[in-house]
Amino acid sequence: MESHELLREVIQKTGAKTVASDLGLSVSLIYKWTEPSAPDSGSGAVNPLDRIAALQRCTGDVRIAQWVCQQAGGFFVNNPKHNKRTPETLIPATHQIVQEFADLLSVISLAIADNTITKAESTDIRKRWEELKSVTEDFVISCEGGEFRKL
């Protein structure tokens, strides 16, 4: 989905006048965001989503995406660099998920051994959790791509 299409759906649901009023912008600008922004067509305006994506690309700093996700009540997880798997790698792939989960549980167990969790331990738990999600996402991508159907 293109950014202007998403904004069209979101703004239609909320109402352009409400969005404009809440953001202190003109209704016409809000409507421009819902159109494709092609430099030669003269229609549309570079919308906030495209600006955030451009800022992310030019800085290469993932904290921008992390901040946006935090504002929405969630968090950002990098997608793994997906390597095409063969059906023979199903068992090792599932073992990798189980091992990552075991590693996470080990980090948690060590952290709570003294009935307190320090900032450093929290950071380590978060790191292991992110690694588990990444490994699991790679597995799910393989499943969705039909890479394990031949078994």
Q: What is the pLDDT of residue 151?
A: 54
Q: What is the pLDDT of residue 6?
A: 95
Distance, first Cα to last Cα, the chain: 34
CA neighbor of 51 nearest in space, from 107, 3, 115, 122? 3
Q: What is the pLDDT of residue 107?
A: 93
Which CA distances in Å does 114 have to 6, 107, 109, 111? 48, 13, 10, 7
Q: What is the pLDDT of residue 60?
A: 93
pTM assigned to the model: 0.61
Classify burial at 13, counting beta carbons within 10 Å of its beta carbon; exposed 0-12, middle 13-18, buried 19 or more: exposed
Low-confidence ranges of the chain (pLDDT < 70): 38-44, 80, 82-88, 149-151
